[in-house]
Structure 1
Amino acid sequence: MTPERRAELVALRRARDLMDREFAVGLDVAAVARHALMSPAHFSRRFRAAYGESPNAYLMTRRIERAMTLLRGGLGVTEACTAVGYSSLGSFSSAFLQLTGETPSAYRARDHDAIESMPGCVARAVGRPVRLPGRPPSPADRAGSEKPDAGARA
């Protein structure tokens, strides 16, 4: 591996770590790309090549993953929506449904005793939302620089 490639991967990891930490604030591709010291277009291409999905799709998955945890903990749908950075309940519900296959209300009402009794590392792996085959791609998947929720600036 060349030193340039290693430096690029380090920058991409730093950017991904930023998205993991700051998922609930108004991040957009340009801000994350600046953090990685890359142009937005180059960052989007390199991020997709490294991680297999666009930066927006990654950020949406992190937000929905956190919302699932909050809903399992008893938080209401509206509160979970705003806590993970969505300003529109409709956009949040649509993204949640698209990623998990069920509405946030249905997910919240479901029994989560099995996942709550697992160790945290196992629960995160089992509970991680994954885009199912055959499910239409979200706007974030179609274009690396589109925003899934304009109000959340993702």
Structure 2
Amino acid sequence: MTSAIRQTPLDTAIRHHAHDFHQIVIGLSGRADFEIEGLGGSISALSGCIVPANHLHYYVGTGDNRQLILDLPHDALSLTGHHHELARLFDAPRFFDLDDPLARYLDFVLQELRLLGGQGALSPLHQERLAGTLLGSLHARLAEAPAGGGRPLDLAALDRFIDRHLAGGLRVADLAAEACLSEAHFTERFRAQTGLSPWRYVMRRRLEAAHRLIRESHLPLSEVAALTGFTNQSALSRAFRRDYGHPPSQLRRLSPQRLHHRPSTA
């Protein structure tokens, strides 16, 4: 598979899937909502999201929406060789906004699509070139900034913020704003202090809350999922099985002593 650039609207009914290639989705018009392995957010014109390979994601378009979608296999020219560091963009899902230079480059890409006869008319090599420039520019803007000095992050305050908003669509940008830092600086400081990306930390906290509710209440699993920020029971079960090694339903059948109570930090 080679990289592919295409324009398409998203279905206005909720869909979900996972695929073995990375994806970048950039809004052109209208709005679309995504949840990528528990990380929720919305995109509209000049904003987008990064979907790493093999990450289950739910998505839905609103009204007359249109997106530019880049499909990027692991061995894409823009992610290998001299460009291998760009693969770090896909370490975790995230949402982003385009600044003015990137907005102008997006317009150039769209003009290339129109000039060469419409969607799908670009040669594979030309699509790789266009994708590589976009990825390089995104990486330059989203790459982690040097950690520098400063006092440690107040993790207790961040935990309280996360817990208050656990049922909603928390974004890394929300945590960064709570800490009064830029998203890049916050991400680097957070990883240095905790050993985890902010996204992975929030996911672990969601699972810990779900684990506690399953053990200590008789709430249906669908309600546990809603209270802890998962789209539905299936999304909760997938994440639970990945981190605990068993489905959430098993937690109510086995004694607590036989189960791990803390998800992995991988």
TM range (shorter): 0.5 to 0.7
Alignment CA distance shift 1:110-1:128 (3 Å): closer
Aligned equivalents of 1:63 and 1:128: distance in 2? 13
Aligned to 1:129: 262
Give 1:60 deviation, angstroms: 0.9
- 1:20–1:59 Cα contact (<8 Å) kept: no
Aligned to 1:78: 222
Alignment CA distance shift 1:31-1:54 (3 Å): same
- Counterpart selection for 1:5 from 150, 157, 163: 150
Give 1:13 deviation, angstroms: 5.0
Aligned to 1:151: none
> Which of the pair is proportionally richer in strand?
2
Output one character per residue of 1:71-125: Cα deviation in whole Å (capped at 9) or x when no partner: 112222111111111113222111111111110111122234x69xxxxxxxxxx
Aligned to 2:234: 90
One-letter code aligned to 2:206: R
- 1:29–1:55 Cα contact (<8 Å) kept: yes
Is structure 2 residue 168 aligned with structure 1 residue 31? no
SS at match of 2:252: helix
Structure 1, 59-68 or 9-18: larger mean CA deviation: 9-18
TM-score where L is the length of structure 2: 0.39
Aligned to 2:191: 48
Output one character per residue of 1:12-50: Cα deviation in whole Å (capped at 9) or x when no partner: 553344224432222110111111111112211110100
Aligned to 1:108: 252
Structure 2, unmatched stretches of 5+, are 1-148
Aligned to 1:64: 207
Aligned equivalents of 1:48 and 1:128: distance in 2? 23
Matched-pair identity in % = 34
> Which of the pair is proportionally richer in helix?
1
State the Cα RMSD in Å: 2.5
Compare relative contact order (CA 8 Å, sep 6+) and give the higher one, 1 or 2.
1
Structure 1, unmatched stretches of 5+, are 116-125, 138-154
Aligned to 1:150: none
- 2:207–2:263 Cα contact (<8 Å) kept: no
Output one character per residue of 1:51-84: Cα deviation in whole Å (capped at 9) or x when no partner: 1101111111111111111111222211111111
Aligned equivalents of 1:13 and 1:42: distance in 2? 19
TM-score where L is the length of structure 1: 0.65
